[in-house]
Chains A and B, each alone.
Chain A
Amino acid sequence: MKHIPLLQISHLEKRFSVKEKWMSQWSLNRGRSYKKQDTVYALNKVTLTLNKGETLCVVGETGCGKSTLARAVMGLTKPDSGEIYYGDQRIDNLNDRQRLIFRRRMQMVFQNPYASLNPRMTVYQTLSEPIAFHNPQLSRIEVDQKITTLMESVGISPNWVDRYPHEFSGGQRQRISIARALSVEPDLIIADEPLAALDVSVQAQVLNLMMDKQEEYNLTYLFITHDLAVVEHFSNRVAVMYLGTVCELSDTKTLFNNPKHPYTQALLSAIPRLDNNSQKPIKLIGEVPTPYEAIIGCPFQARCPFAQEKCFIEAPKMIQQPDGSSVSCHAVEEQRL
């Protein structure tokens, strides 16, 4: 398969200021006032490439910047620095009007199906709005036809178009969300933990639906999750994120057979297995710190069992490994692992 890059993210950074009120930013210190602002470094130079037709899973703990990455790509939050390219066009600095043509090309499915549909709009209204908005030339009958086929394709009876979201179950709502995302015929769908709020049996249904749609429309997925079983089942490539940086990026098979980064190793060892009980999970010390200051050195330094002096001084670079994966770790680089 030829790899045509569809979405390129390079050195993306995003900081959030914690205190928003300007009055409380000023503090007094020995009679002199100074401005103090706490910032959280949510994304630190994230670089990723998404190829056409593939599924890239982004995994990581809560608070590692997965959702921020998705929102930055969709233009919901403005990144502080870095670039995002769609095809060969830069999209991170566009205004709303310029971005409109890319809105059709990329869509998003959200985590919480109970909040992602407007409770006061029927399914018909929810689906017809984007269709009519992006295809103003269509007549009402054509829009209706489109909605009928869309609903059938996600396994919801078209007779239910005039129902409100609260009349559907979580899985059905998530299907409607998927239908809404598909309604503008996108190439890329960013799914921000679409299965997290669903029952396990329903998760499988929704996941299969997403895989079917991928085949049908040749979709590209950026799939954010923390469920490693889903990753193994679903994705072509995996990016492991820790504290706003990508620490390992490789093919799914390679990652599961041969994890290299100490964090990935710990993450994979934590999957409960039925077949193999001998492997003890690697216990990491402490919790994910909240990055209030720009990190010097490796972001994983505080919890890494292999951390050395160099890890506290110099940030590791993403280095291509012989088996095709990329890892950012001094220990892997120096072959200490």
Chain B
Amino acid sequence: MKHINKEQVISTKSKHWIHLWHGFLSDKIAVLSLLIFTFYCLISLAAPLIAPFDVRDPSFMSLENSEIAPYWIDGDSRFLLGTDGQGRDLLSVILYGTRLSLTIGIFAVVIQGVLGICIGLIAGYFGGRLDNFLMRCADIQLSFSNMMVAIIVMALFQTVFGIASYQHLAMYILILVIGLAEWPLFARTVRASVLAEKQKEYIDAARIMGIGSGRIMFKHILPNTVSPLLVIFTIQIANAIIAEAALSFLGLGMPVTQPSLGSLISSGFSYMFSGAWWICVIPSITLIVLILVMNLLGDWLRDHLNPKVYKD
């Protein structure tokens, strides 16, 4: 009996996903975006394996190799994409940089999501004064520019703890700062869906059963607010990567020794007009394609999780 149940669960669940999958396959741009995105994920996961040089190796950085143009211009087969101003192989640095940017983006959004979902659920479900208070907090948070908050925090951190410890902790601080800065977006979206779901009778039915508020919020309401959240998740990861890149470009993000895509662009920018355009342009293209792909995926998800198109 139980065995049959399991099979049926899978079949009904998969029906739900098959529908999405068919819609997905018919959209060429979405398929292409997903392919590129998985490619990015794979190369960033496998960066230590596929990178031609080990970035931790002290001999990796040698000034005699600096500013070598990419293979198709210079013909130096050691460096496929050329080298940067410190003589590092650009391909290896970009692989590690993508890995770093994606990690920061994903973890920052996880922090945003956890905070935003909890606050949104509480505000929407309990309502009243608590809701007012939390949403005013969100307004205050939104009224500061995220960039400004991040710049102040990063600058303070650098001066208080010194550059040395900053270099070790930069990634975690970046994740925290970007994560804490943008929770209101999640909180507002969740709250709006909770307000709509709370009116429905199945919530009353659960309350009548005596089920506690926490369980109602997370087991009954949250699954019904998933579709808008998925969309925000993808778009926010892109935004977090941009925010990290912008901070790094301003010199407040990742240190030069552990470059993310943003700090690569930043350091390459000064070589731009001395002829070594590839140091800046190639990481930029990498970043732009990544962001574009994530936004396209987010758009596609939004269109297809729309209840008018896909009804459940």
Residues on A close to B: CB < 8 A?
71, 74-76, 96, 99-100, 103-104, 107-108, 110-112, 115-122, 124, 129-130, 133-134, 144, 161-164, 166, 177, 180, 184
Contact = CB atoms under 8 A, between A and B. Distances in A.
Given A129-B206, A180-B205, 13 more contacts: A103-B210, A110-B201, A110-B204, A116-B204, A118-B220, A120-B224, A122-B9, A129-B209, A130-B209, A133-B211, A144-B1, A162-B8, A162-B9
A163 B5 contact: no
A117 B200 CA distance: 9
A117 B201 CA distance: 7
Contacts of B201: 110-112, 115-116
Contact of A96 (B206, B210, B220, B224): B210
B210 A119 contact: no
4 closest A-B pairs by beta carbon, nearest first, are: A103-B210, A116-B201, A120-B223, A162-B8
Instruction: Give chain B's interface secondary structure class.
Output: helix
Given A115-B201, A162-B9, A163-B12, A103 B208 contact: yes
Interface residues of B, number: 22
A275 B62 CA distance: 105
Contacts of A115: 200-202
A99 B210 CA distance: 8
B1 A122 contact: no
Contact of A184 (B200, B209, B212): B209
B224 A119 contact: yes
A103 B202 contact: no
B204 A162 contact: no
Interface string B181-222: 000000000000000000011101111111110000000100
Given A99-B210, A100-B210, A122-B12, A76 B1 contact: no
A116 B202 contact: yes
Contacts of A144: 1-2
Interface string B44-72: 00000000000000000000000000000
Interface string B4-20: 01001100100000000
Nearest to B12: A162
B208 A108 contact: yes
A282 to B, nearest CB: 35
Given A110-B201, A115-B201, A118-B224, A129 B2 contact: no
28 contacts: A76-B207, A96-B210, A99-B210, A100-B210, A103-B208, A103-B209, A103-B210, A107-B208, A108-B205, A108-B208, A110-B201, A110-B205, A111-B201, A115-B200, A116-B201, A116-B205, A117-B202, A117-B205, A118-B206, A119-B202, A120-B224, A121-B220, A122-B12, A129-B211, A134-B209, A134-B210, A162-B12, A164-B312
A201 B211 CA distance: 34
B20 to A, nearest CB: 15
Nearest to A109: B205
Contacts of B212: 96
